Structure 1
Amino acid sequence: MDISATDIAERVGALGPASAYRVAFSGGPDSHALLHLLATARDRLSAPLSAIHVNHRMHADADAWATHCQAVCEALEIPLVALRVPEPPPPDAGETWARDWRYRLMADALASGEGLLTAHHQDDQAETVLLRLLRGSGVDGLVGIPRTRALGKGWVGRPLLEIPRAAIAAYGCDHGLQSIDDPANHDRHADRNWVRHDVLPTLVARWPRAVGTIARSGSLAGEAGASLGRYAVTLLRGMTDGERLDGDALSCLADEDQRLVLRHWLRQRGAALPDARQLEAGRRMLVYGADDRMPVFHWPGGTVRRYRRWLSLEPAGEVPARQARSVQWLPETDLRLDHGWLRVTRGVGGVAPERLPPSGVIVALRQGGERCRPAGRPTRPVKKLFQEAGVPPWQRQAWPILMVGDAVAAVPGLCICEGFQAAPPDRGLHFHWDPD
């Protein structure tokens, strides 16, 4: 299969509009071929062309590779942005560490609407599908590498995804491209390299079209995954309350639909999905666990808790912690706290501004034992107010309480205390807690 300037321009155009195109240029043979192709096709592109190189600092020649990439781009008259991972790699750093840093830095470098073009090809796709199949992935995982996805303020696209590695190598050879050979790509201890150098060649020796067939299976899985996604949206209707999922409604579904809904809900919330074994263990715990035990399902991507009938997600690294100190606040604008926003609006009712001191209120976290008298009701422990409102225990420690002296004036979203309320039709302050 030959690749031409016209062909690559059409493939890039099919990815979608862009305000500029950036090539992810490692200096290796695949990205070098892509960069060279696009350089020859730049007059056919709808937006300016440049390149990005990331120095991962993982190899003794990393700085020399960056210099090589700069020289290649200068020869092709293509602007290059050279990025460098700000911290040295840890002793156990591998491709996952490098990839995370690479995409983080490139995402930060993309301006609004810019498209990052990577050199992933058909063999990469086959390797990804095969690895995920061996790891027990479902339909969603077998989709493999997406043709496009959002990244930072722009997007990332793969114009070579249907092109075999051999065709790209032939292009590089025909044009005398001098590329970097990273020794890490030959380390067979890495699963992908073992699949690339040992497994796929064995399969191709028996089935010459194996690479294309496996990659095509990924595309078919993508179509099936899209249909299942639409079905999951249908199932989810009426099952959510804001960001929470109705556990009772979930328990009424068939087991396979429960798994589908959980995956879709977690994906909507931006959490990294658990693997099939983890998801099944979590599903059983959350659906069948006793209410009085407040079931908790934790995996590296986050934590799901059930309180009463509702499931709540805490993404990885976002477990609430206690505010370091109390804050004095004049409620004229919203207040940013450690784990959310304390917002103020004005309308009929609410807290009477004249009942508050000129210096404002103290925003504190619950220490335990606080009591207040909600307007028109008997005095209650604040703990009971949380229970009555169905606030899960793990959210209460970060929930702000508004104090005037030693008195609770309001618990945002729960109550206004006696003596601080505005009498309708007077307009007062309404406080809302919006956690992260």
Structure 2
Amino acid sequence: MVQVRSNVEKIFLDHKLLIKNIILSSKYKSFLIAYSGGLDSTVLLHKLIELKTHIPEITIRAIHINHNLHHLSKMWSKHCEENCEKYQIPLVVKNINIDTNKNYSEKELRIQRYRLIYKCLLIEEILLTGHHMNDQCETFFLSLKRGSGPTGLSAMSFQTQLGDKKFFRPMLNQTKKTLESWARNNKITWIEDFSNFNTNYDRNYIRHKIIPILEKKWPFFLKNCFRTTKICQEETALLNYFLMKKIKKFIKDDNSLNITDFKNIKKEICTAFIRMWIALQKIKMPSYKNIQCIYHQMIFSKIDANPKFFLNKHEIRRYKNSLYLLKKKSSLNNTLLFWHDKNQTLILPNDLGYLTKNKKGIDLPEPDDNDLINIRFQYEGNILILGKKHSKKIKKIWQETNIPPWLRHQIPLLFYNDTLISALGVFVVKINNSKKKTWSISWNSNIILNHQNNFVFE
């Protein structure tokens, strides 16, 4: 028994050093442990408490998320509170308020859990979780089920960014059996969430139905699976390194992707560029199938086409041989805003900023006292622009001023009664009475129309 305990301690030494390395290499020494009360997080909590006796400058807090999915949930929260109180560890308890009539997926619960944790992270505090090698193998299988590529098969990394915070998984190179042996030998108690045995959940099915069979046939399967995820991580990092160097010449100053030469480049390289470009926008990566659709729709549709591809809250649009990733905005075609008091700021919809009267804006003919000043976002017909000899259709003007289709109904159009006066930031309409007084309007927005009549986004 003494020899068994010695071996467990020896195996666990690597894990202990892993946590110690995080502490010593981190600029900040404050840690928040995601503490469920289960085996993994309990072992992590006790190892950190043990290390604090040797490195007293570290500070430890714990956070417990109560999902309220089980009739024992409150008892589990109580267990965590008592355990943290015993070791004088500050504990934050947060509840997820769920609809008991709805079946939540593992992903939905995880997103809610991490949102709460992120909100509770203090400045300069690092998050630690108790993920271990078995979790890594399960994540690998889930990615395999979805048909993921090397990035997905990389599973979880030892270090991740959670928003602008650091997130470490210091026990990722340890098996669950090792953690359980260490906990039993040190007489540490933990709670068991019985929902973890519900094989209707994909992860639990892999955990209880698949991995045990594989381990019985191949005892080193877990470690080899872990090695595969590590190789995938290294290959992905290497690919991203070279892609980053190459893609720079295709990304323009306005963050769009120049696809002028994509028809002459191998499809695999083009799709890799598209994937990398989307990754740089820091939104959820589309599936392999969606990346293929983006490639075919954007690269090979007709020159005069206006292709678009929707990605949850974003959309990809093509304009003049460049791809743009945009946040979806609601239509303003039928919107009418009255500016009754021009000395007051007028707030625009769709996060388009605001209009204000000041001396820094565009000079416009001043309205008469009885004119109704109003803002619209749609106009059809011919317009004679100030400084031009001939009138043109507004569509032609948008094209000549390089305003892309998705922005044409987001630019505020200034009207006096039903007379169009200006597309703010783009053009001023020529009116008959040139002796009128003028006033200036500024449009403050994250859309900038520069002096070359090209658009950019801040």
Query: Normalising by the residue count of structure 1, what TM-score does the alignment of the two structures yield?
Result: 0.85
1:272 and 1:302 in contact (8 A); partners too: no
2:274 to 225, 237, 262: 262
Question: 1:265 deviation in Å?
Answer: 1.0
- Aligned equivalent of 1:133: 144
Q: How far, CA to CA, are the matches of 2:224 and 2:15 in structure 1?
A: 26
Matches within 5 A, 1:174-189: 174-189=185-200
| Gap change, CA 1:155 and 1:112, over 3 Å in 2 | same
Deviations, residues 330-357 of structure 1 (Å, cap 9, x unaligned): 6898956423335889999x62388578
Counterpart amino acid of residue 30 in structure 2: A
Structure 1: how far apart are the matches of 2:168 and 2:330? Answer: 36
Find the counterpart in structure 1 of residue 22 from structure 2. Answer: 12
Looking at structure 2, the residues matched to 286 and 206 of structure 1 have their Cα atoms a distance apart, in angstroms, of 48
Number of the residue aligned with 1:282? 294
> Rg bigger for which structure?
2
2:101 maps to 1:69: no
Q: Does the 8 Å contact 1:5/1:41 carry over to 2?
A: no
Q: Measured at CA, do residues 398 and 163 of structure 1 come closer, stay the same or move farther in structure 2, by a change above 3 Å?
A: same
Q: Does 1:296 align with 2:296?
A: no
Does 2:45 correspond to 1:35? yes
Compute the displacement of 1:71 (Å).
Answer: 1.3
Asked if 1:84 is matched to 2:132, the reply is no
Q: Deviations over 1:340-398 (max 9, x none)?
A: 335889999x6238857899995723233266543312444443332333433333333
2: CA distance, partners of 1:212 / 1:396: 56
Shift in Å at residue 62 of structure 1? 1.9
1:48-80 CA-to-partner distances (Å, cap 9, x unmatched) read 110011111222222222222111111121001
* Aligned sequence identity (%): 24
Deviates more, 1:1-10 or 1:389-398: 1-10
Q: What is the Cα deviation at residue 402 of structure 1?
A: 3.5
Whole-angstrom CA distance in 2 between matches of 1:362 and 1:240: 41
Q: Deviations over 1:230-258 (max 9, x none)?
A: 22223322323313222323333211111
Point out the more displaced range, 93-102 or 328-337: 328-337
Contact in 2 for aligned 1:56/1:85 (Cα 8 Å): yes
Distance, in Å, in 1 between the alignment partners of 2:245 and 2:375 is: 42
Name the SS for the 2:63 alignment partner.
strand
Aligned mates of 2:239, 2:160 — CA distance in 1: 19
Q: Which residue in the other structure is 1:251 paired with?
A: 263
Q: 1:371 to 1:97 in 2, by over 3 A?
A: same
Is 1:399 the counterpart of 2:411? The answer is yes
Match of 2:285 in 1: 273
Report if aligned partners of 1:5, 1:38 keep a CA contact under 8 Å in 2.
no
Partner of 1:423: none
> Aligned pairs, how many?
429
Alignment of 1:324-343 (within 5 A): 325-326=336-337, 328=339, 337-342=349-354
Separation in 1 of the partners of 2:184 and 2:159? 28
Q: 1:424 maps to which residue? A: none
Amino acid paired to 1:149 = T
* Structure 1 Cα separation of the partners of residues 338 and 132 of structure 2: 54
Mapped partners of 2:131, 2:90: distance in 1: 22
Matched, 1:411 2:420: no
- Aligned-pair Cα RMSD in Å: 3.5
How much does 1:92 deviate?
2.0
Q: In 1, Cα distance between the equivalents of 2:308 and 2:239?
A: 27
CA distance in 2, matches of 1:175, 1:319: 57
Q: Is the 8 A contact 2:342 2:356 kept in 1?
A: no
Taking structure 2 as the reference length, the TM-score comes to 0.82
2:241 aligns with 230
What is the rounded CA distance, in whole Å, between the counterparts of 1:205 and 1:245 in structure 2?
50
* Aligned match of 1:388: 400
Gaps of 5+ in 2: 1-10, 433-438, 448-456
**Does the Cα contact within 8 Å between 2:130 and 2:169 map onto a contact in 1?**
yes
